[in-house]
Structure 1
Amino acid sequence: MNKFFPNVGQYWPDFGQATIDTLLMTILTMVISGMFGIIIGLILLSTNENGLTPNRIVYIILDKIVDIGRAIPFIILLVAIIPFTRLLVGTSIGTAAVTVPIVVGTIPFFARMVQNSLMEVDPGVVEAAKAMGTSNLGIIFRVYLKEGLIPILRDLNFTTISVVGLTAMAGIVGGGGLGNMAVQYGYQRGANDVTFVSLIFVLIIVFISQMIGNAVIKLVLHGRKV
């Protein structure tokens, strides 16, 4: 171990905190982005020309905001919203600070995925609900969100994996977590073993996240069959 990982031992306690920071950033991002992403996705779905409440102006404005948000490279976004980050959390470095641009970058990404997933809901089911006198709000909850639950769960699973990657990228600017371990303690100090072990920890988090997501999807599918 000392031959292949000579520097890991002295930083081992830091790996625990870095892992916790990465998990906190991921969970917090998914909670906030999941909530706002679903809301924005539903608004985009409802206000398009074939939606429940068509509104061309609202749709165009929100659609362009989502497109722009998805087009901005994350590393540029990190720097571009530093003033907003400082205003919100009082600093531009650290776990809390980096969570802000991760959330900002994830919301439009997830919102578009939600919109696309809900657009796959059978229009016939929607029309049937309308014919039965179901309100627009009822259609959203009883039709779109119910029928689109599995695709949305898949979107959440995929987005979670992407967010773990963003937390690692945030280490470039001292964002904390395993990415920071890989850059600050590994790359900058020439400790390649620290970088490698950080990578292994990130991959473990990704694999576990994917396993949990797949398990939840199977559980929901099983519940529907029952």
Structure 2
Amino acid sequence: MIENYLKVPGSTIALAASQTLYMVGWSLAAGAILGMILAIILVLTRPDGLLENRIIFFIFSTTVNIVRSVPFIIMMVAIMPLTKLVVGTRVGTIAALIPLIVHIAPYLARLFESSLLEVNTGIIEAAQSMGATTPQVIWYFLIPEAKASLILALTTGTIGLLGATAMAGAIGAGGVGNLALTYGYERLNMPLMIVTVIILVVIVQLIQSLGNVIARELRHN
């Protein structure tokens, strides 16, 4: 019944959903790790940071800004040689992971940096006065104090990444966004387009709500 209304096999819809979850899940995991590393470097080496180094800060900050300024669709095409080198192909769901990671890592880095900078400097000074090393300050004081804000930053990044997966269809990555474009827009299938938009809106609302709940619980604890 639903398949006849949407004019698309259920298996195609299920495949698109699984492709979107695959791309978002793996690229978010890798991007969050890289983003956190970059954020910590930026926070430590910035002026008045624990390991102040203006040269390193300038290099990493400039690199993050440059990568963030490149539109995703252009970046996806520009780094195809790197994608080919890493995963052995330029097209497909797996190939989309490389540009998605490169896209989301610096974006999350800035969000995480802002979260870490919100931590009261008095806490850092107290940790240092107790003899805590820089890694201990980061692991036991900086990150725990910023964890609620970090969760909200990760939530924002996840929603942005979900939108980027739609553009990944340009290299045959599939996904719900590509389903709406290929089977909806190009075939003038308005019911399918409406349904896919509703699905994406629901997913975004669920992600945001989950992030808000987790952040609120962390703040209370």
Q: State the TM bucket, normalised to the shorter chain.
A: over 0.9
**For the residues of structure 2 that align with 1:45 and 1:195, how far apart are their CA atoms?**
43
Paired amino acid for 2:54: R
Q: Which residue of 1 aligns with 2:6?
A: 8
Instruction: Tell me how far 1:171 sits from its aligned partner.
Output: 2.1
Instruction: Tell me how far 1:9 sits from its aligned partner.
Output: 4.2
Q: Secondary structure at the match of 1:22?
A: helix
Paired amino acid for 2:198: I
Q: Which residue of 2 aligns with 1:152?
A: 150
Q: Which residue of 2 aligns with 1:164?
A: 162
**For the residues of structure 1 that align with 2:219 and 2:117, how far apart are their CA atoms?**
20
The answer as to 2:49 corresponding to 1:51 is: yes
Structure 1 ranges of 4+ moved more than 6 A: none
- CA RMSD, Structure 1 to Structure 2 (Å): 1.7
Instruction: Tell me how far 1:90 sits from its aligned partner.
Output: 1.7
Structure 2 counterpart of 1:196, from 191, 194, 197:
194
Q: Secondary structure at the match of 1:203?
A: helix
**For the residues of structure 2 that align with 1:10 and 1:176, how far apart are their CA atoms?**
14
**For the residues of structure 1 that align with 2:117 and 2:130, how far apart are their CA atoms?**
21
Q: Which residue of 2 aligns with 1:210?
A: 208
Q: Which residue of 1 aligns with 2:110?
A: 112
Structure 2 counterpart of 1:31, from 29, 32, 48:
29
Q: Which residue of 1 aligns with 2:124?
A: 126
Gaps in structure 1 of 5+ consecutive residues: none
Query: After superposition, where does 1:35-114 map in structure 2 within 5 Å?
Result: 35-114=33-112
Instruction: Tell me how far 1:150 sits from its aligned partner.
Output: 0.8
Identity %: 36
TM-score by length of 2: 0.93
**Is the deviation greater in 196-205 or in 42-51?**
196-205
**For the residues of structure 2 that align with 1:196 and 1:177, how far apart are their CA atoms?**
16
Q: Deviations over 1:28-81 (max 9, x none)?
A: 111111111111100110011211111122111111100001101111111111
| Count of equivalent residues | 221
**For the residues of structure 1 that align with 2:191 and 2:181, how far apart are their CA atoms?**
12
TM-score by length of 1: 0.91
Q: Secondary structure at the match of 2:89?
A: coil
